Amino acid sequence: MIGMGGSGLFKRVEIPPPPDNTPLPTAKPYGIGKPPYAMLSSESCASAACHGGGQLDTARSEFSTWSSTAFLGTLYDPHATAYRVLFNADSVRIGKLMGIKEPHKEQLCLKCHSTEGIQPAEAVSEGVGCAGCHGPAEKWISAHTLPEWKSLSNETKFNDYGFIPGKNLVARMLNCTSCHVGDGDREVNHDLIAAGHPRLSFEYTKFQFNPKYRHHWDDLPEYDFEVRAWTVGQAATLRAATDLLRVRAERAAADDPKTPWPEFSGLSCYACHQSVGTGEVSRDSASPKRPLGVPGWELWSNSAAGVAANLCPEAFPGVTPPQLRELAALRKLMQKQRPDPKAVASRARRAVAELDGWLAAIQAAEDKAPTKRLAPDASRKFAHALAANALSPDRTKLADYDWDALAANYLGAAAMYHASGGKKAVPTWTDPVRGLMADLEFPKRKPGERFDSPAGFGKTARDRVRDRFRDLYDVTAEPGAKP
């Protein structure tokens, strides 16, 4: 059984790393990489006969709804304002600290705050426009209006036309993670974070159901969407983080002077950035397997992924749970005080292949039967496993004291709470889920304060979190099961 110990991804009983010649999956999901076609401005979609109708929040008005979010009210889509952000005081200050005079002209910033390579160049001001999420439209802009377009497979649409088929969650999230986690061409490293850029902590369902975001798409009823979306999000985010580690390790192994090793942005921020001297830093309330003095590698991305792997057949019937042994070996390498970048790069390449095999299997299952209803208690099983994942085997302690690890398990549980129908359908979940949100939430800022961290998250707070997860574990147990 894939592990619930330590960061939650690996087995409680340590297993030896697989030999370097162990056969790896060869399947890859479609949706990886950038299609080799030209990006077109969102104006290409803005005709009233296409997606620019005048009645917001209706079909044929998707562009109008999306673009209006840059100017109207409290509901908005941050993609529409991504370029404008580069002019605000925070961005100017970050640029100054990074030696960047004009962030709105800097490629480092524009790669994610605009649609990269958009034509005409002035269209950069539209932020992350249609092509940023739906793919370069050079070949599909006309083709997707034809009757035969609907008969094409999602894979053909991506490979032959450059269209990102958002109805397939794997293809959708592989595209999301290229900016929201990073890739070989785009990243937010520790220098940027130290200068003031928010760290990248992407969790798809948190974005999908953010009540502040205005949807420019139809929210059609889709069975068990949160269960599937959370599962795919765990796999896709972890794949992106692992591949980014590979890129950084390869650079470090080649003695690239611009690549510090290890890159701190891939480690847990709060392993170092926490209050000291108050007696609140004790590890006594948790039992992580990490060595003393070693911050966790990508706890945000891997802490709950073991649950997604274990229970994958509950979300995608017929998909075999992946073993993720290469990831276990990679994590062990990253637990060394100074991991060898050459060894890390090699193991990370193998781990990416392992994750690609998992994602390809999910993708094929989704394309085959995307709306097949899951078992009625699938979300309960996930929530119960996530609560167990956050706790030690005897449930007397937390499995990990790190905020990232705890937040990852909470966000998964919150997605399952929503999938189950929330307070009306599962009222006994409400107190532990909302209590976890309150305990893990960053302190509210006061005027003049700048911090984006769980300040004061010490033993007292961790004990409350432990008790909330215990309660959630109990209320999500299989009916009739013994405590």
DSSP 316-336: STTPPPP--HHHHHHHHHHTS
DSSP 295: P
Contact in structure between 333 and 10 (CB atoms under 8 Å)? no
* CA neighbours closer than 13 Å in the CB half-sphere of residue 78: 11
**Residue-level pLDDT at 285:** 64
**Residue-level pLDDT at 102:** 94
**Residue-level pLDDT at 4:** 39
**Residue-level pLDDT at 371:** 65
**Residue-level pLDDT at 337:** 85
Q: How far apart are CA 266 and CA 289, in angstroms?
A: 19
Q: How far apart are CA 415 and CA 206, in angstroms?
A: 8
**Residue-level pLDDT at 414:** 96
Q: What pTM was computed for the model?
A: 0.91
Tokens of 420: 């189950």
What are all long-range contacts of 188-194, with beta carbons under 8 Å and residues at least 24 apart? 188/265, 189/263, 189/265, 190/260, 190/263, 190/264, 190/265, 191/98, 192/94, 192/98, 192/265, 193/265, 193/269, 194/97
**Residue-level pLDDT at 10:** 43
**Residue-level pLDDT at 277:** 58
**Residue-level pLDDT at 69:** 66
Alpha helices in 371-426 (DSSP H): 378-389, 403-419, 422-425
357 alpha-carbon distance from chain centroid:
18
Encode burial over 273-301: b for 16+ CB neighbours within 10 A, e otherwise.
Answer: ebeeeeeeeeeebbbbbbeeebbbbbbbb
353 alpha-carbon distance from chain centroid:
19
**Residue-level pLDDT at 481:** 72
The helix or strand, by DSSP H or E, that contains position 90, with its residue range, turns out to be helix 89-98
pLDDT along the chain (483 residues), means of 10: 39 62 88 88 81 78 76 76 91 96 93 84 84 91 91 95 94 95 92 93 88 77 84 98 97 93 90 67 64 85 95 94 94 92 97 97 89 83 98 93 94 95 94 96 74 78 95 92 66
**Residue-level pLDDT at 224:** 84
| Backbone phi, psi, residue 337, to 5° | -65, -35
**CB atoms closer than 10 angstroms to residue 448:** 5
Q: How many residues does the chain have?
A: 483
406 alpha-carbon distance from chain centroid:
15
